[in-house]
């Protein structure tokens, strides 16, 4: 099914609603770099084409080796296919996997969350589940075919939520139809989470990286609402990235174990003044 859908050119997208509500400043208060993976940011391609990917998660797991692993999640979602691949890779890990939602695990990130044998969520955090979201163009025959494929994909996701939680696939499908945000306590009641995460494990850390992520998501949301196609938005962000000087030490990303900046925006040397200038320009064009 995955190959069939992707062969039609379908790519699942971040829900604009989830992106708008996501706060990238929410992170783990303390992270053990030896046994921790952070999923902070867009799943798959982000604004610069380098989000949280299977390649990074796989590298992190190989570095951790034969040990238990904790996965901290604060993500608005992204590419569902990448999320499923990461989910399967975590299931393959030989030792216990614990997943913890700090702020949000939306869409593809909620799938990754299900890979935990123990699944914790902060009382103030949310899961968000919905049907596959995409942008595409084509004639009526093509669009009908893609809709049929998406229906099958959504059913598979409802089955996965149901198998994990013990709820029925129909009840999960109803929540997906409504693009439902599920608070921590409700997630435990539904069986999607196994327990509430201690409040002391979560902090809100305002940094240059999180400020840049907020500016980027604001620009992306404004452009999407203005009708700019995803491909054109990515070209704009790529142009922005290429105009920025590289950070000292070269462009080699750190290991995925502590790859928080790369999960949001890989090149962090740009001044926030540049980001603000582009944001103001886009606000003007979207009026």
User: What's residue 10's pLDDT?
Assistant: 58
Please write the tens of the pLDDT for every residue from 104-160.
Answer: 999 999 999 999 999 999 999 999 999 987 767 778 888 888 888 889 889 999 999
100 and 226 share a domain? no
Final residue of a domain: which of 167, 187, 204?
204
| C-beta of residue 40 within 8 angstroms of C-beta of residue 24 | yes
Length of the chain (residues): 287
Instruction: Give DSSP secondary structure letters for 177-207.
Output: HTTEEEEHHHHHHHTS-SEEEPGGGEEE---
| C-beta of residue 236 within 8 angstroms of C-beta of residue 281 | no
Both structure tokens of 75:
């993500």
Distance (Å, rounded) from C-alpha 12 to C-alpha 216? 19
CATH number at residue 90: 3.90.226.10
127 and 242 share a domain? no
135 and 19 share a domain? yes
Local confidence band at 30 (pLDDT 50, 70, 90 cut-offs): confident
Active-site residue (options: 107, 124, 195, 269): 107
User: What's residue 9's pLDDT?
Assistant: 53
| C-beta of residue 275 within 8 angstroms of C-beta of residue 216 | yes
User: What's residue 277's pLDDT?
Assistant: 52
Reply yes or no on whether 107 is catalytic. yes
- The number of folded domains in the chain is 2
Final residue of a domain: which of 204, 220, 238?
204
Note if the pTM is more than 0.85.
no
Please write the tens of the pLDDT for every residue from 241-282.
Answer: 666 554 333 333 333 444 433 333 334 334 344 444 554 555
100 and 19 share a domain? yes
**Closest to 41 in 3D by CA, of 277, 261, 252, 200:** 261
37 and 71 share a domain? yes
**Closest to 160 in 3D by CA, of 182, 181, 175:** 175
93 and 171 share a domain? yes
Q: Nearest 5°: phi and psi at 259?
A: -90, 45
Final residue of a domain: which of 204, 226, 241?
204
Please write the tens of the pLDDT for every residue from 177-216.
Answer: 999 999 999 999 999 999 999 999 999 988 888 888 888 8
Q: Domain range spanning residue 266? A: 208-285
Q: What is the mean pLDDT of the chain?
A: 81
User: What's residue 254's pLDDT?
Assistant: 33
Look at residue 37 and tell me whether its pLDDT is greater than 80: yes
73 and 191 share a domain? yes
164 and 218 share a domain? no
């Amino acid at each position: 099914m995955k190959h069939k859908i992707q062969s039609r050119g379908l790519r699942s997208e971040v829900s604009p609603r989830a992106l708008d509500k996501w706060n990238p400043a929410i992170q783990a208060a303390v992270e053990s770099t030896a046994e921790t993976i952070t999923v902070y940011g867009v799943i798959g391609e982000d604004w610069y084409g380098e989000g949280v990917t299977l390649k990074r998660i796989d590298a992190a797991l190989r570095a951790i080796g034969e040990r238990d692993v904790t996965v901290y999640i604060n993500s608005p979602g992204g590419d569902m296919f990448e999320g499923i691949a990461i989910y399967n890779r975590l299931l393959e890990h030989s030792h216990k996997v614990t997943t913890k939602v700090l702020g949000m695990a939306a869409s593809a990130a909620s799938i990754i969350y299900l890979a935990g044998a123990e699944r914790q969520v902060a009382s103030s955090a949310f899961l968000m589940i919905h049907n596959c979201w995409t942008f595409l163009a084509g004639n009526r025959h093509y669009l009908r075919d893609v809709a049929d494929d998406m229906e099958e994909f959504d059913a598979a996701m409802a089955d996965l939520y149901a198998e994990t939680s013990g709820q029925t696939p129909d009840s999960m499908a109803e929540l997906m139809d409504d693009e439902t945000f599920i608070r921590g306590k409700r997630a435990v009641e539904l069986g999607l989470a196994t327990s509430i995460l201690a409040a002391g494990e979560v902090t809100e850390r305002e940094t240059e990286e999180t400020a840049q992520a907020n500016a980027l998501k604001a620009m992306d949301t404004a452009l999407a609402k203005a009708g700019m196609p995803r491909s054109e938005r990515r070209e704009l962000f790529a142009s922005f990235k290429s105009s920025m000087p590289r950070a000292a030490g070269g462009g080699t990303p750190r290991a995925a174990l502590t790859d928080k900046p790369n999960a949001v925006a890989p090149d962090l040397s740009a001044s926030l003044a540049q980001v603000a200038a582009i944001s103001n320009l886009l606000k003007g064009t979207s009026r």
